[in-house]
Amino acid sequence: MLLRASAEANEEEIGIEGVMDDSKESQVPDGMLLGEFAEAVVRRDPDLAAVRERMVEAMGPEAMVDAAAVVANFQRMVRIADGIGIPIDESWRGFSADLREDLGVAEFASSANTPG
Amino acid sequence: MKHFTYTDSAIPIRDDLQAANRRQWERLAHPGSWWDGVDRVAIAREIRAAEDCAFCAERKQALSAASIEGAHDCDSELPETVVEVVHKLVTDNARLSKAWFDDIVPSQLSDAAYAEIVGIVVNTFSVDELQRGMGVAVEPLPQPVKGEPSQRRPLGAKDHGSWLPTVAAEDLDSQDADLYGGAAAANVIAAMSLVPGEVRGLLDLGDAYYMPMGAMNTFEQVRSLTRSQVELVAARTSALNECFY
């Protein structure tokens, strides 16, 4: 949701389907590489070191560290949501519903724990 | 021992990340609301044990986690239920269910003790994930600090639709008045508010790992990544974890 909001705020075009499908272009600069890096960390991919190296070469070490920190942050946030069964925030319900529909996240098992 | 020095790191690591990680290790080592320092550090050890737990691996592969019987590979003397909560949160979080939770709380763990376990797990796991992502060895855990848990339960905790009672901004008591920075809190922020110390840890790490709360709605670039790049990484990580929220 914040991806779409940030793109709108900064007048950028994005392909939201790139969030769910790594074969689709998000149109975010270096988006494929960033997605590949996130996946390598989350999936414990043995190629993580190689992906990391490509990120450092393409985007610089600061960007790699920043990306690692964001992945780490959201590895945490999803576990809070799943572990405490929190509902969707009232203020998000309306304008996030169509996005959830587009992304197909209702099929996730965790949707049963998150009224919204 | 001085933690998170990054002296061997070939890449520059932001000072604020280093400082945030050190503060998390301080919080981890000290008594919390319901667990003492020894237990808190033991819970952190179980986060790491879960990564190599054969039972967790087998259960994660099964169509139904409940169909697999066995025992966790442990690295502590913590009660079996605590180990189960820690390992499940780390390795199979997308398949946590209300039925699983109801089997544990309140019959085996109080709601607040459970909230603190979630807090220890998510905040410590996040630090470990940063290290892995950056290609740095996970940090040795801190030495526990002696002392008793405070056993303080916020008086304003109420049912707001989560599995656990939470504290809304308007119900914070004087001791926690600044907990959400004077604003309303998203459900994911208030989720662990039965244990205010874990919310403080969440927000402290979040400022360094993601962005300061004040920057959330301005959509300005605060890191070397653009805001859209940050949000793409956030969204992709959440999708890979099959997170509906």
In chain B, domain spans: 15-152, 219-245
- Is the pLDDT at B46 greater than 80? The verdict is yes
Query: What is the interface pTM, i.e. ipTM, of the complex?
Result: 0.94
Q: What count of CB pairs under 8 Å joins A to B?
A: 259
**B228: nearest CB among A3, A35, A59:** A3
- Is the pLDDT at A116 greater than 60? The verdict is no
Does the beta-carbon distance from A84 to B191 stay under 8 Å? Answer: yes
Residues from chain B that touch A64, judged by Cβ atoms under 8 A, are 11, 134
**B237: nearest CB among A62, A74, A112:** A74
User: Does any CB of chain A come closer than 8 Å to the CB of residue B89?
Assistant: yes
Q: One-letter amino acid identity for B239?
A: A
Q: What is the largest CA-CA distance in chain A?
A: 43
**B121: nearest CB among A22, A79, A100:** A79
**How does pLDDT run across B66-112, given as a tens digit for each residue?**
788 899 999 999 999 999 999 999 999 988 999 999 999 999 999 99
**How does pLDDT run across B171-197, given as a tens digit for each residue?**
999 999 999 988 889 999 999 999 999
Does the beta-carbon distance from A80 to B118 stay under 8 Å? Answer: yes
Share of chain B above pLDDT 70, in %: 99
Instruction: Give B110-142 as a DSSP string.
Output: -HHHHHHHHHHHHHHHHHHHHHHHHT-PPPPPP
Structure token pair of residue B103: 């089997």
pLDDT at position B221:
79
Residues from chain B that touch A100, judged by Cβ atoms under 8 A, are 244
Average pLDDT in the B51-77 region? Answer: 91
